[in-house]
Amino acid sequence: MSAEDLRRRRTNVRANVRTVPGPCARWNDEDADFIREVLDLVGDKWSVLIIGTLADGPIRYSDLADAIPGISQRMLTLTLKHLRRTGLITRTSYPEVPPRVEYTLTELGTSLLSTVLALAAWSADHHGEIRRHQAAYDSANARQADER
Amino acid sequence: MSAEDLRRRRTNVRANVRTVPGPCARWNDEDADFIREVLDLVGDKWSVLIIGTLADGPIRYSDLADAIPGISQRMLTLTLKHLRRTGLITRTSYPEVPPRVEYTLTELGTSLLSTVLALAAWSADHHGEIRRHQAAYDSANARQADER
DNA sequence: CAGTATCCTCTGAGATACTG
DNA sequence: CAGTATCTCAGAGGATACTG
């Protein structure tokens, strides 16, 4: 299945159902799965940060830890395993003393990175707007709480 | 800050640091925050599904529940609140009997949707490749477990 | 250096029951 | 219809200590 198909397909499914009884369209299970798949991949706290760091070229475990403030060894190791299993990164260990291990972004990983960066860019672009909405929403809620 | 800046900025920061002591670049805190912000927004289990459903036009609470199989009332309500607070959707209640409430995607929400759909499309495109990597990784691990 | 192994906490999310 | 109120639990993630 191709990229452009996704949007088209869901729209079609929706349209089909809508013409039958009324408004009650449902997600195609497969489409929902694709969303779950990416979220499972990049929806966690560290994956994107790691992938972004690897974008600058191969890097060692400890340098990775330094580059990503706040990550615990446990989470670093776990996330690296996860990314490796998915084929987004590769691990190369050099039999030296002291041991050296480098992590590298695969082509698959690079292709994902650019898509994810678009998301971060969206956030950067609309950050102000979002903050304004949140503030408005919160103050409206505070007023409601007062009235009670 | 603009969309194109994001990539450029991080690269610069990285380059600056790299020229000083060695490889030990760190994420700019602000950039990492942008990533956290989107993830907090769409990284959960239901947000994207809801946004995607709203893309077809305003829809009522109960129709939303039907359109998204598996979601609980609690999660639907909670996620709707979250999206509303961020300004991605709006809520309009019509004072009728029985009550009618419609949720509508804002422009902000629409702009996010298209970006997120790109991610889903990526998943659709690389799904096969990912599955192959996972299978390979798992069987390699199973062999290791046997050898022990 | 590059990880494991444990323990612990806290939150995301489901199930169920109730209400304006 | 469109929610709210509780209870519950699994697992994501942190802290700390240990190891090939």
Q: What is the pLDDT of residues B50-103, one digit of tens each?
A: 999 999 999 999 999 999 999 999 999 999 999 999 999 999 999 998 999 999
Dihedral pair phi/psi, residue B88, rounded to 5°: -85, -25
Q: Among B81, B39, B111, which Cα is nearest to A137's?
A: B81
B19: pLDDT strictly greater than 60: no
Distance CA A95 to C1' C12 in A = 42
Measured at the alpha carbon of residue A30, what is the angle toward residues B103 and B112, in degrees to the nearest 5? 40
What's the pLDDT score for residue A2? Answer: 64
Mean pLDDT of chain A: 87
What does the pLDDT average to over B22-33? 74
- % chain B with pLDDT above 70: 80
Question: Cβ of A45 < 7 Å from strand D?
Answer: yes
What's the pLDDT score for residue A18? Answer: 41
Check CB contact under 8 Å for A122 and B59: no
Q: Which residues of A28-55 are buried (b: 16+ CB within 10 A; e: fewer)?
A: eeebbebbbbbbebbbbebbbbbbbbbb
**Closest Cα of chain A to B146: distance in Å?**
19
Write down the residue that tokens 């499972």 correspond to.
Answer: A40
Distance CA A40 to C1' D15 in A = 25
Report pTM.
Answer: 0.89
Chain B residues near residue A139 by CB distance under 8 angstroms: none
Task: Indicate the burial class of B29 (C-beta count within 10 angstroms; 0-12, 13-18, 19 or more).
Answer: exposed
Nearest-nucleotide field for A65 (CA, C1'): C2
B23: pLDDT strictly greater than 60: no
Nearest residue in chain B measured CA to CA from A140? B85
Check CB contact under 8 Å for B34 and A127: yes
Chain B residues near residue A24 by CB distance under 8 angstroms: 63, 66-67
> Which residues 25-44 on A are within 7 A of strand D at the CB atom?
44
What's the pLDDT score for residue B30? Answer: 83
Mean pLDDT of chain B: 87
Question: Cβ of B100 < 7 Å from strand D?
Answer: yes
Question: Cβ of A73 < 7 Å from strand D?
Answer: yes
